[in-house]
Amino acid sequence: MKKTDKRIWLLASLVFLCMFNLTFIVPSVKELIIDRFDASTTQASLFITVEMVAYIIFGMIWGAASDKRGERRIFIAMGFLVSSLLYYTMSLAPNLATLLALRFVQGAMTVMAWSLLMTLALDTTSKKEYGASMGIIGTGLALGLGLGAPVGGFLGEWGPLVPLYGASVLFMLATVLTVVLIKDEPIKHRPDSIVRAIGIALRRREVLPPYLYSFAERFSAGFLVLLFPLLMAEEFGASPQERGLYLAAFLLPFALLQYPFGKLSDRRGRFFMLIVGGIAYAALFASIGSLDKAYLAPVMIVCGVFAAMLLPASLALLGDVSTDRERATFMGGFNAVGSLGFALGPLLAAYFSDEVGYSSAFLLGGVVVCASVLASLPLIPKRLARRPT
């Protein structure tokens, strides 16, 4: 394995820990918040929401600060370390307001770590291998999201605070690994100020297509994670185990095909992967609520295959249109917009299903994804649409 590949796999492992912790706590929310503080379900949902809000607010700010300083490692290590301390402190929170405040700060620090890990992967990689490297990063991200919940649920059986302790330990481990093993890449050009870097990221037209794909991909993930288990339970009487297996039919190809599709985008170009994958994914996603149970499993598998075409190609496209001067700022924007999608997905899924039913809800969700894909078409630079990078 080449030295660069080893570094990318290390960065992907640290991204895995970040995403693992994102869903690690979720199965224990009832005991951790509702039972512990006598809170409502709506109040408990804020535990997830405030972290997403922190991601949205701080993703681009930390990226701009990293670009201005010309370093990544110090920010990554700080994000991991403070997150570790905050997860432990949450176990001592005397009331819900304090817990949510700690959660917000933890979200702000965690996004600093994982967004800059993804940036460092681009710093480390040559342009002709952006897709393959982002496929490795995407694999770590997807596997972390998929495995965090079941492992966290298992630890939650030992006590409601155990997942918090576990998350604290994992982030402390990530801190040590970052300090010992991660090295910065030299950055030749730096922005004059944080404000200037953010201003460029907000005005740059070429950065909009990867942002649109980030929104679409994470919007659909949040939409699916909330609504699909409810559809299975209410329409087909599926058990929790069966619901999990159907979700796994989507998540496994989505995780395992990130690297080959990312590598393919280096050979065929980003445009092909994003447009073909995006439109096919949107169409299949829109059909989920209308299918008989016999067709759901194969459609979920194929849906996961097309979804896997989007993340590595959109991240590689972000690398194509960015320079080292504002790369972390652009990546922060990419993750901030994606977090906005992940936050809106469950809200709109719940609203649509209540108003028009499951079939029409998935149709409308697919329309949102398709609209994001089509909006990106005139914005993708012609040099990337015509030939491979």
Listing DSSP states for 39-88 in one string gives --HHHHHHHHHHHHHHHHHHHHHHHHHHHHHT-SHHHHHHHHHHHHHHHH
The predicted pLDDT at position 363 comes to 93
The predicted pLDDT at position 3 comes to 58
Domain at 217, CATH number: 1.20.1250.20
Averaged over successive runs of 10 residues, the pLDDT of the chain (389 residues) comes to 74 90 75 82 78 91 89 94 95 92 94 93 87 91 81 79 90 94 80 77 83 92 82 79 79 90 87 89 92 88 93 90 83 91 85 85 92 87 57
Q: How far apart are CA 175 and CA 300, in angstroms?
A: 36
Stated pTM of the model: 0.88
Identify whether the C-beta of residue 251 lies closer than 8 Å to the C-beta of residue 303.
Answer: no
Q: How many residues does the chain have?
A: 389
Q: In the block, which residue shows the tokens 């409810």?
A: 230
Number of domains in the chain: 1
CA torsion through residues 148, 153, 157, 163, sign: positive
The predicted pLDDT at position 240 comes to 66
Q: How far apart are CA 368 and CA 347, in angstroms?
A: 14
Identify whether the C-beta of residue 25 lies closer than 8 Å to the C-beta of residue 167.
Answer: yes
Structural domain including 332 reads 3-386
Q: How far apart are CA 209 and CA 334, in angstroms?
A: 10
The predicted pLDDT at position 249 comes to 85
Structure tokens at 224: 């699916």
